[in-house]
Amino acid sequence: MTSARRHHRLAGARSSAFTLIEVLATMVLVGIVLPVAVDAILLATATAGYARDQVESASLAQNLMSEIIASGDYQDIESSGQFGTHRTECRWSAQWDEWDAPRLKQLTVTVTWQRRRRERGVALSTLVYARSN
């Protein structure tokens, strides 16, 4: 092999390697981007958990509201309680309020739970036709 070819081959090998500056710059960039990416993932996970809790609680409130309305006995219902074994950390309350129109009452069902040492809640309301006795 001639020395010109050998020199050309060695020059090609050198140009494909990374320099120390390039490696350090990459490490600095990764050091800046990685914590931001991890924080974004943690925030997305926490938000998804909160959204899941809200949807489940709204569903529980809607089911409870349907049970109360279907029973038809509005005066003798419990005004608060806990859900069974499925969501023991959730509490519920039901409240009846008078409405402007006669024979209409507003039923509000509130479901509360603890998340990150704060009480969260979902409230659903509907109007119910109160039959006369």
Q: Which of 126, 124, 125, 127 lies closest to 54, judged by CA? A: 124
Residue 101 lies in a domain: yes
The alpha carbons of the chain give a radius of gyration, in whole angstroms, of 32
In this structure, is residue 33 part of a structural domain?
Answer: yes
* This prediction's pTM: 0.67
Are 53 and 115 in contact, with CB atoms under 8 Å apart? Answer: yes
Show the CA angle centred on residue 85, arms to residues 89 and 71, nearest 5°.
95
Overall average pLDDT of the 85-91 stretch: 73
Identify any residues that bridge with 120 across adjacent strands, giving them in sequence order. Answer: 113
Residue 11 belongs to some domain of the structure: no
Q: What is the dihedral of CA 13, 18, 19, 22, to 10 degrees?
A: 160
CATH of the domain at 62: 3.30.1300
Q: What is the pLDDT of residue 127?
A: 92
pLDDT band, very low/low/confident/very high, at 73 (cuts 50, 70, 90): low
User: CA–CA separation, 14 vs 61, rounded Å?
Assistant: 69
| Domains of the chain: total | 1
3 belongs to a structural domain: no
Residue 118 lies in a domain: yes
Please give the residue range of the domain that contains residue 24.
16-129
Whether the predicted pLDDT of 124 surpasses 80:
yes
How would you class 30 by CB atoms within 10 Å of its CB: exposed for 0-12, middle for 13-18, buried for 19 or more?
exposed
Q: Which residues, including other chains, have CB under 8 Å from residue 79's CB and lie 6 or more apart?
A: 93, 94, 95
Q: Residue 99's closest CA among 81, 67, 74?
A: 74
- What is the reported pLDDT for 85? 63
